[in-house]
Structure 1
Amino acid sequence: MSAPRTAPPENHVRPADRPAVILTEAVAWILAAALLVALPFIVILAGDPPRGAPFTRNLAYALGFGALALAGLQFALTGRLKPLLRPFGADIVPVFHRFLSWAALAFMLAHFGMLYVWHQDDLGSLSPLKAQPHMTAGRVALAAFLVLIVSSEFRKRLGLDYLWWRRLHIALALLGFGAAIWHVLGAGHFTARDGTRGLWLAVTLAWLGLILYTRLVRPWWQSRNPWRVIENRDEGDGIRLLRLRPEGRPLRDWRPGQFAWLAIGNSPYSLREHPFTIATAPDKGHEISVAIKELGDDSRRLSRAEIGSTAWIDGPYGVFTIDREAEAKGFVMIAGGVGITPIIANLHALQERRDPRPVHLLYANVDWQGVAFRAELDRIARDIDLRVTHVLETMPDTPPKGQSIAKGRIDADLIQRLLPDDSRDWPHMMCGPAPMLDALRKALRQRGVPAHRIHSEIFEMV
């Protein structure tokens, strides 16, 4: 039902959430990334530009420098830099990271392949016992990045534990990057002059500073701001809800629907952390809740955290929030299974603000017993104009009273049947398994929903 609004949506929109600001920041970061990739070539041309060498030789070296620049860029993409993540979203940046990593590897292989085919004298001996150390370092870098990308792309097929994969990933990245820097400076092609070498060292130190911030400074800050587990309750469908209280500084600039990296019972330096959506809204106070479902890796241990356990929080991150939609006339929200968590957080914010805008929620599950947060959704629907349709693959023997239930899966026909025509221009916020989201994007586009009105949250980070 509708309730009087106690605070207009605009009051909760910060300047950083306005579309013009987001677009400006996104363009600025794209230009900065392009400059970073071009920087090695600027350094070369400024200090010792290539002249008179065969085109294939210069191209091979250019590909090598480009590969190094792309490799350095990965530390920024994976460093959880909030100014970088703000305009794009924390689930889009890893996609950039993945494709640019493949591009860096392709550049490295092309660099080595062109020299091997046309300029073997530049390569020298391939034996590490005879080759110069900096040449061997280049081959070590190539091997490290190759293993890094293959182990990441096929982690689940290879049966790699998440924690050990993270350790391997970081070790290979640091080894490969360090070896690549040694190779470039040792080879001396276009970097031999003092001024050019100094610029290269400055760039290297900047990348190193970013690594130190990510791996040392930020965990140190977390260690000064611990959290405490104060509740662990069952929400159904194998989901446990942990409630945490800050014992230091609470989250800053927190918006409904965002997520945080959580570690329990370990040092923040341990790498044993995982991303979870914050199930509560900042309007409810400084305490946060996270919903954990046992899906493998470390989730079983985290879901069984004891009351009083120490926790470490790094966040908030993400842009899956109603605070970016102040002008929306209503919302369509679609969730599958545990993907209801960021939806719940946004609904809590609407509830606390007594926001009168209509919300249509389609919530997919296997059966009625597996529906999490049922009571919570009923409570929220008493305060705001929330219409929930439970989409179940298996119908209950006795339909529950007062509930709207549809059989099957969320597809184009069901969307067309359940959603009002004027909702096409509303924000469509979706969270669930990747195959479900892919199918829904196509169905919504066929229905005439503009692409910029379709927002999704991907909770499988690797």
Structure 2
Amino acid sequence: MITQSSVLEKFGLQYPFKFNKKSKLALGYFCLMLLPFLATFSLDMADKTTYATILTTVNVLAMMAFYMQFPLVSRLKSFSLFANIDWNITHHKKIGLWLGIIFLLHPVLILAPRFLVSFDDGMHSLVSVITAPQMLTGIIAWVGMIIWILIAIFKNTLNISYETWRFTHMLGLVTIMILATLHITSVGSHGQFQEKFNLIWWALCATSVTMVLYNYFIKPRILRSKPFKLIDVAQVSSTDWQVTIEKKDASGFDFEAGQFVWLNTSKHSGGVKEHPFSIASCQADLPRVSFLIRNLGDYTSKLDTLKIGQNVYVDGPYGSINLAESSKAKAIVLIAGGAGIAPMLSLLRGLAEKNDARPIRLIYGNNRLDQMVLQDEIKALEKTMPNFKQQLVCNEEFNQEHREDIYQGVIDKDCIEGVFNSINNQNSIEAKKDCTVYLCGPKPMIAGVNTSLKSLNIPKEHIHYEQLSF
């Protein structure tokens, strides 16, 4: 059954209305989307039919959404509206899919009235559009957008390296944006008659291109003047490495537990060589910073080739997860899946540094036991921290006597509820009321755990997570 509250949740809102961080972001982006729309309709335009007005509205909003794709991924942490990188990336992908659909339907919606009059009229209009020289930019942008959206969706299936995909994705979308802007300012009904309309769109286009140039060419050169040094690379499980770097001047870098950065270990200064990794260390370890990195791709499979002492370039930190979100909580549950252990370990180390006496639980899941990292350190924390326990979760069938610290299977509802029971002497209901949950892992794991938390009536505002997907 579709309810008012369920519809609002799709847009990051709650019923009754509670403006949390994500709903404020959604509202802010929506207001920005309306600016060119309002500017367009403030111009003195000829009367339009209802259908043409609706079509113009859709086109204007879609183009603004296209331009907004660039600040969403530009890591503008100085601007609060663009600072939540995980939220930005998630919505960048969702908006991209909708833009692909709108671009696909764009010529269909324009030509549909002609085909409704007669098939011959429709075909004549279609041929005129395809053969008209001034339509070439629009046609190229239309075809290019469809192809680039499909590549983004199936990039893993196509086995494209992260660096190659990121560069071609950026280059392709910038080209499509310029062609689309040329199309709407030279062929679109507004652009043909209103110079002010054209100025709006070319200004937005120029701003987007400037962001790309800064992030891919200017910022990397700035970062090269502030290098870190590689201190250590050590394998800490069958699939994971711990990489430790140190700031050369021992100043100018700070972070909060749970955040991540983009690392560049290449000699090249281009932004396409960067890779996002979560910080696993805590602030007390500065100027040294450690990362737990799983061997999952073409770059991470070559970590053992890095040279101790080489320069490493860091863009960050980023991320909205931090311990301030649990400052008023009576208990904390950290849930990590696979490589998601890095930010959870950073949070745990930060809590240990403060000697936090609240009940703290770590649920750590992997496919195999030999993928569990830094178990000696975590077990030591179980002894030294006032109220900390770890619950391992493993899919692998192991031939050893039953261990209470290992839950066989995946991180499901029963596993999570068992951990809540351990917090408050079997009274999980009380534990859920005042507990903050931090969550990090692969996208399917995040979705499954969120479903379990919802079924356990964990308040949505008490759940903080980031997905390992860029």
Q: Same fold (TM over 0.5)?
A: yes
Deviation at 1:220, TM superposition (A): 2.6
Match of 2:186 in 1: 186
Closer, same or farther in 2 for the Cα pair 1:174/1:24, shift >3 Å? same
Q: Secondary structure at the match of 2:180?
A: helix
Query: After superposition, where does 1:389-428 map in structure 2 within 5 Å?
Result: 389-392=391-394, 393-395=396-398, 397=400, 404-420=405-421, 421=428, 422-425=430-433, 426-428=435-437
Indicate conservation of the 8 Å contact 1:331/1:360, yes or no.
yes
Indicate conservation of the 8 Å contact 1:232/1:241, yes or no.
yes
Alignment RMSD, CA only?
Answer: 2.7
Indicate conservation of the 8 Å contact 1:265/1:309, yes or no.
no
2:169 matched to 1:160? no
Deviation at 1:188, TM superposition (A): 5.2
Deviation at 1:237, TM superposition (A): 2.7
Match of 1:8 in 2: none
Match of 1:11 in 2: none
Closer, same or farther in 2 for the Cα pair 1:141/1:344, shift >3 Å? same
TM-score (norm 1): 0.85
Give the Cα–Cα distance (whole angstroms) in 2 for the partners of residues 236 and 353 of structure 1: 28
Q: How many residues align?
A: 434
Match of 1:9 in 2: none
Closer, same or farther in 2 for the Cα pair 1:339/1:29, shift >3 Å? closer
Deviation at 1:261, TM superposition (A): 1.0
Higher mean C-alpha deviation, range 333-342 or range 185-194? 185-194
Deviation at 1:77, TM superposition (A): 1.0
Indicate conservation of the 8 Å contact 1:115/1:123, yes or no.
no
Deviations 1:157-214 (A, max 9, x none): 2222222211210111011000011111112522333333333333333333333332
Indicate conservation of the 8 Å contact 2:217/2:271, yes or no.
no
Give the Cα–Cα distance (whole angstroms) in 1 for the partners of residues 371 and 198 of structure 2: 61
Indicate conservation of the 8 Å contact 1:163/1:272, yes or no.
yes
Match of 2:68 in 1: 73
Q: Which runs of 5+ in 1 are unaligned?
A: 1-21
Indicate conservation of the 8 Å contact 1:26/1:87, yes or no.
no
Match of 1:30 in 2: 26
User: Could you tell me which amino acid in structure 2 is paired with residue 243 of structure 1?
Assistant: T
Match of residue 429, structure 1, among 434, 438, 445: 438
User: Could you tell me which amino acid in structure 2 is paired with residue 447 of structure 1?
Assistant: L
Match of 1:277 in 2: 278
Closer, same or farther in 2 for the Cα pair 1:443/1:87, shift >3 Å? farther
Indicate conservation of the 8 Å contact 2:76/2:82, yes or no.
no
Match of 1:172 in 2: 172
Deviation at 1:83, TM superposition (A): 4.6
Structure showing greater relative contact order (alpha-carbon pairs closer than 8 Å, 6 or more residues apart) = 1
Give the Cα–Cα distance (whole angstroms) in 2 for the partners of residues 406 and 59 of structure 1: 55
User: Could you tell me which amino acid in structure 2 is paired with residue 458 of structure 1?
Assistant: Q
Give the Cα–Cα distance (whole angstroms) in 1 for the partners of residues 324 and 180 of structure 2: 43
Indicate conservation of the 8 Å contact 1:241/1:292, yes or no.
yes
Higher mean C-alpha deviation, range 369-378 or range 436-445? 436-445
Match of residue 456, structure 1, among 451, 454, 465: 465
Q: Secondary structure at the match of 1:173?
A: helix
Match of 2:137 in 1: 137
TM-score (norm 2): 0.84
Closer, same or farther in 2 for the Cα pair 1:433/1:27, shift >3 Å? closer
Give the Cα–Cα distance (whole angstroms) in 2 for the partners of residues 36 and 278 of structure 1: 33
Q: Which runs of 5+ in 2 are unaligned?
A: 1-17, 115-121, 422-427
Deviation at 1:124, TM superposition (A): 7.0
Closer, same or farther in 2 for the Cα pair 1:372/1:97, shift >3 Å? same
Closer, same or farther in 2 for the Cα pair 1:87/1:215, shift >3 Å? closer
Indicate conservation of the 8 Å contact 1:79/1:210, yes or no.
yes
Matched residues, percent identical? 24
Give the Cα–Cα distance (whole angstroms) in 2 for the partners of residues 267 and 23 of structure 1: 43
Give the Cα–Cα distance (whole angstroms) in 2 for the partners of residues 222 and 50 of structure 1: 51
Deviation at 1:44, TM superposition (A): 2.1
Higher mean C-alpha deviation, range 223-232 or range 264-273? 264-273
2:91 matched to 1:96? yes
Indicate conservation of the 8 Å contact 1:284/1:352, yes or no.
no
Q: Secondary structure at the match of 1:419?
A: helix
Give the Cα–Cα distance (whole angstroms) in 2 for the partners of residues 94 and 288 of structure 1: 24
Give the Cα–Cα distance (whole angstroms) in 2 for the partners of residues 304 and 291 of structure 1: 16
Match of 2:298 in 1: 297
Give the Cα–Cα distance (whole angstroms) in 2 for the partners of residues 449 and 126 of structure 1: 55
Q: Secondary structure at the match of 2:293?
A: strand
Match of 1:59 in 2: 54
Match of 1:44 in 2: 40
